[in-house]
């Protein structure tokens, strides 16, 4: 079986080679990878006006999710199901392709509920149509398929991917794209970005109980090739007016937390009044070589331990907590609101 170290080395080489490709996937010419990393961050700023479509709209999972999401108040405007174009579903129009839906509905975001064997093609269709925000909750997408997706993302600067294998993104009481248990979310001032869906729900609960609420919650997912990283979430929150405090949740596997630590250090050094940041790294007791929950949560010999990641975040000035249940009260203290009602 291929080692985790070898697999990550292969991924790095493949992605590096894709940067030299002259293939133009979308209508927007590729200049450099920074155009995707930086130019599409603002696409994550969803709100009550965000126009959302579903891919796989008429399927069982999408239908159930869409009913809840419409009831929540999200502005769902239609969807895509290749064999159902021209019909209506949930009293909304259905189109045969994303390009057709883009022409008629002009959506800002798409929520993809498509089985793993076809999920990459669905993502690529959304990239080709230049949908600004693409959210894929699908798990078990083959790595080879995600390499193709990332190669395409690097050819353009119009579309931003969240996921796959993630809970999605939510602006509480305004817009949900994904599967978050929205009832505990409350509109407020704390931005949360997390590799773990479950721990993000715990952070949401803690900040809601503290009376702080959330501005945006981004679940980046735990796969090896996420479309949006902890660094991307931090960049979003640094410049997001509604966000007064930031929570970042990492775990074993990969280097996302170390990259986040470098960015936090740079941000705090250049910012006169930086927003308070709380961090947590899960997996301190995880045994080496064992996958914990999803593909990316695996501590290989090459990876920094959870303790090392936590220390790197703490060294930047972030407040590291051992449990998400402490995040609400600690953020309230950092914001100087501990005595407020």
pLDDT at residue 9, rounded to an integer:
53
pLDDT at residue 177, rounded to an integer:
98
pLDDT at residue 223, rounded to an integer:
86
pLDDT at residue 205, rounded to an integer:
97
Secondary structure of residue 310 in the 3-state scheme: helix
135 phi/psi in degrees, rounded to 5: -120, 125
Least Cα distance to 165 among 188, 195, 202, 186 occurs for 195
89, 150, 185, 294: the catalytic one is: 294
pLDDT at residue 339, rounded to an integer:
62
Residue whose entry in the numeric block shows the structure tokens 């309230």: 332
What domains lie within the chain, and their CATH numbers?
4-162 (3.40.50.720), 168-334 (3.40.50.261)
Query: Per DSSP, what are the bridge partners of residue 177?
Result: 169
Question: What element of type H or E holds 39?
Answer: helix 33-39
Query: Per DSSP, what are the bridge partners of residue 53?
Result: 78, 110
Q: Kindly provide the b/e burial profile for residues 60-93, where b requires at least 16 CB atoms within 10 angstroms of the residue's own CB.
A: eebbebbeebbebebbbbbbbbeebeeeebbebb
pLDDT along the chain (341 residues), means of 10: 51 52 44 78 98 98 98 98 95 98 98 97 98 96 95 94 97 98 96 96 98 97 92 98 98 91 97 97 70 51 82 97 96 85 50
pLDDT at residue 293, rounded to an integer:
55
pLDDT tens for 92-133 read 999 999 999 999 999 999 999 999 999 999 999 999 999 999
Q: Kindly provide the b/e burial profile for residues 261-296, where b requires at least 16 CB atoms within 10 angstroms of the residue's own CB.
A: bebbbebeeeeeeebbbbbbbbbeebeeeeebbbbb
Q: What is the pTM of this model?
A: 0.88
Least Cα distance to 232 among 12, 36, 97 occurs for 36
Question: What element of type H or E holds 133?
Answer: strand 133-136
pLDDT tens for 43-58 read 999 999 999 999 999 9
pLDDT at residue 337, rounded to an integer:
82
Strand 214-219 versus strand 168-171 pairing type: antiparallel
Residue 294 is a catalytic residue: yes
């Amino acid at each position: 079986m291929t080692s985790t170290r070898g697999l990550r080395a292969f991924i790095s080489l493949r992605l590096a080679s894709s940067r030299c490709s002259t293939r133009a996937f979308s209508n927007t010419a590729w200049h450099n990878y920074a155009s995707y990393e930086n130019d599409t961050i603002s696409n994550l700023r969803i709100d009550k006006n965000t126009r959302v479509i579903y891919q796989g709209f008429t399927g069982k999972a999408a239908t159930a999710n869409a009913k809840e999401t419409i009831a929540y108040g999200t502005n769902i405007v239609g969807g895509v199901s290749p064999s159902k174009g021209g019909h209506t579903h949930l009293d909304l129009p259905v189109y045969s392709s994303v390009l057709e839906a883009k022409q008629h509905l002009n959506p800002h975001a798409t929520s993809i509920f498509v089985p793993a064997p076809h999920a990459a093609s669905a993502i690529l269709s959304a990239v080709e149509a230049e949908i600004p925000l693409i959210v894929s909750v699908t798990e078990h997408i083959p790595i080879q398929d995600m390499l193709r997706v990332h190669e395409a993302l690097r050819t353009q600067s119009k579309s931003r991917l969240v996921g796959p294998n993630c809970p999605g993104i939510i602006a509480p009481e305004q817009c949900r794209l994904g599967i978050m248990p929205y009832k505990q979310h409350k509109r407020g001032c704390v931005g949360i970005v997390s590799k773990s869906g479950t721990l993000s729900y715990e952070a949401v609960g803690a900040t809601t109980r503290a009376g702080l609420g959330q501005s945006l919650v981004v679940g980046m997912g735990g796969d090896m090739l996420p479309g949006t990283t902890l660094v991307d979430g931090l960049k979003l929150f640094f410049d997001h007016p509604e966000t007064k405090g930031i929570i970042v949740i990492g775990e074993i596997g990969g280097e996302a937390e170390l990259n986040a630590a470098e960015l936090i250090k740079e941000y705090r050094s250049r910012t006169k009044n930086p927003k308070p940041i709380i961090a947590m790294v899960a997996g301190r007791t995880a045994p080496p070589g064992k996958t914990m929950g999803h593909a990316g949560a695996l501590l290989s010999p090459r990876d920094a331990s959870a303790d090392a990641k936590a220390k790197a975040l703490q060294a930047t000035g972030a407040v590291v907590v051992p449990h998400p249940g402490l995040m609400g009260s600690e953020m309230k203290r950092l914001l100087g609101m501990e005595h407020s009602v």
